[in-house]
Amino acid sequence: MVRKLTLISALFLTSMCMMSAQSSSLVKWNPKAGVNFSDLILPQSSPNSSLIKMGWNIGLDVSYGIRWQARGGLHYFQLGSGVEVPLDTGTYMQRLAVSQLKIPLGAGFDIYRVEYFNLWAQAQAVVNITTGVRQNAEEASSSSYPGSGVSGRAGIGIDLWSVTMEINYEYGFTDLINGYTSAKNQLVNFALGLKF
């Protein structure tokens, strides 16, 4: 399923590039950078606690349409999170740094638009390709995390002339880690970019 979504995302982005040459007013490019706050979703039976950490991200979004848009992109995320494990001698903190390529694909809608201001919302499915995991600054074994996964994203943003600001919430449908404990991931992302 993840391979099919990755292929569909790649085809979507390729078709957006081809349409860009034909109708530049309908295609918008949006390079952006931001910060994210990642939180592991541990099973309820787990005695461990999740620790929210800050990460960063960069990427490029492309949209096609006027009021309703098809939206896709390619992003690199450095996620920070951690797990606090209770021990007889106290607590042990396992810090995680996860590197992922994210390929979002979905739709957007302009809620309110005037000449220089636009308020919009979006919903996307996201293919996540994990490129590396570090546990307490050491490279983790690839058997402790899945190589890919799927999540859902919803967000809202504003365009002020060519400057874009947005906030997104993302929920993982598949596990981010599956070694000593299994956990999905959720994150909030703030991003700033330029649209042209």
Chain mean position to CA 63: 16
Q: How far apart are CA 124 and CA 113, in angstroms?
A: 21
- pTM of structure: 0.84
- For residue 1, which of 183, 103, 148 has the smallest C-alpha distance? 148
Torsion angle defined by CA atoms of residues 154, 102, 150 and 110, in that order, rounded to the nearest 10 degrees: 20
Q: Model confidence over 97-139: pLDDT tens digits?
A: 899 999 999 999 999 999 999 999 999 999 999 998 888 877 8
What's the pLDDT tens digit per position in 41-78? 888 888 888 889 999 999 999 999 999 999 999 999 99
All residues at 6 or more sequence positions from 182 whose CB lies less than 8 Å from its CB, including other chains: 43, 175
Q: What domains lie within the chain, and their CATH numbers? A: 2-194 (2.40.160.20)
Nearest to 126 by CA among 106, 104, 148: 104
Contact present, 175 and 43 (Cβ < 8 Å): no
